[in-house]
Amino acid sequence: MTTQIIRLNMIPGGVMPVVYASQYDNQTNALTFELYNGDEPFTVPSGAAVLINGTKPPVDGQLTGFSYSATSVSGNRVVCNVTQQMTAVPGNVLCELRVRTATQIIGSVNFVLMVERSALNDDTVLSETQIPLIEQAIDIAANLADYIDTAVQSAETATDAAETATAAAQRSEVINTNVEGIYGQLTAATAAANAAAEAANTAADTLEDLSATATTLAAGSSATASYNPSTGVMSFGIPKGDKGDSGITTPLTGFFTMWVDSNGDLYAASQTDLSDAFSYDSTTGNLYYMTEDGN
């Protein structure tokens, strides 16, 4: 679609602009009108309608006209597509661009749509008998040559396509061989994975049913361990350990630690003087700790 841009002044006067179109144009030509009020852009008010009205040259003394709404309106720009009715009759078509609301006409401006006559009218009878036979033969020969060229090109294209298909088939055989080898490897890997999974499941079942018992053995005995697969019970024998020596600790200030050595002697250790802290009754064998009140 071609687009013509026409500047229209909404102030009357001057020479009417001329817009050119070809007879029988239909939706192939768009007219873009830029509206001005003198030197300032004329902005179409919001909600206003823009119409393109026109009167065609008379045919058999009969005048006919047309009226179309603008295709789009934005600011001071109005777009209208040329229709078949606008270009049906060649000659000068007096047109008007009218801006109006529902109650009043805001402004209008005229222009001339110059419709150039078509070289061939729609109702012209086409001649089929006035072309010399030699010209027809030349046309047929030219068309035949074009047909032969097209057939040769099609044959070459078909040959190239066949060669491409053959190469693709050969590559496909190689790919199939590789795929079969990969499939065999995948099958073996799958079987190994299934066997490992089965072994893991068996081990898991065994561990799930496993239980254990422990028995304390005499000191100095050897540790024992046994497993009964029919019951799933593991038995452990653990000997008693040797009695360890008494440890020596360092008490904090105000505290004391007591221990007995291998001779049976009783000792008390402290960071403070304990000479007055204990009292021993040899008659009863009682040992007393003396508090600050003497008890």
* Domain-wise residue ranges, the chain: 2-116, 134-166, 208-240, 256-289
Q: Determine the pLDDT at residue 163.
A: 87
Q: Determine the pLDDT at residue 109.
A: 95
Question: What residue type is 279 in one-letter code?
Answer: S
| Rounded CA separation 110/97 (Å) | 6
Q: Which residues contact 281 (CB under 8 A, 6 or more apart)?
A: 287, 288
Helices (DSSP H) in the chain: which residue ranges?
A: 133-209
Question: What residue type is 270 in one-letter code?
Answer: S
DSSP 282: T
CATH topology of domain 2-116: Immunoglobulin-like (2.60.40)
Which of 24, 21, 15, 18 has the alpha carbon at shortest distance from 6? 18
Residue 172 reports pLDDT greater than 80: no
| Rounded CA separation 31/98 (Å) | 15
Does the reported pTM lie above 0.75?
no
| Rounded CA separation 88/118 (Å) | 10
Which of 119, 108, 118 has the alpha carbon at shortest distance from 26? 118
pLDDT in tens, 2-48: 889 999 999 988 889 999 999 988 888 899 999 999 999 999 999 99
Count of CB atoms situated within 10 Å of the CB of 78:
24
Mean pLDDT of 57-84: 94
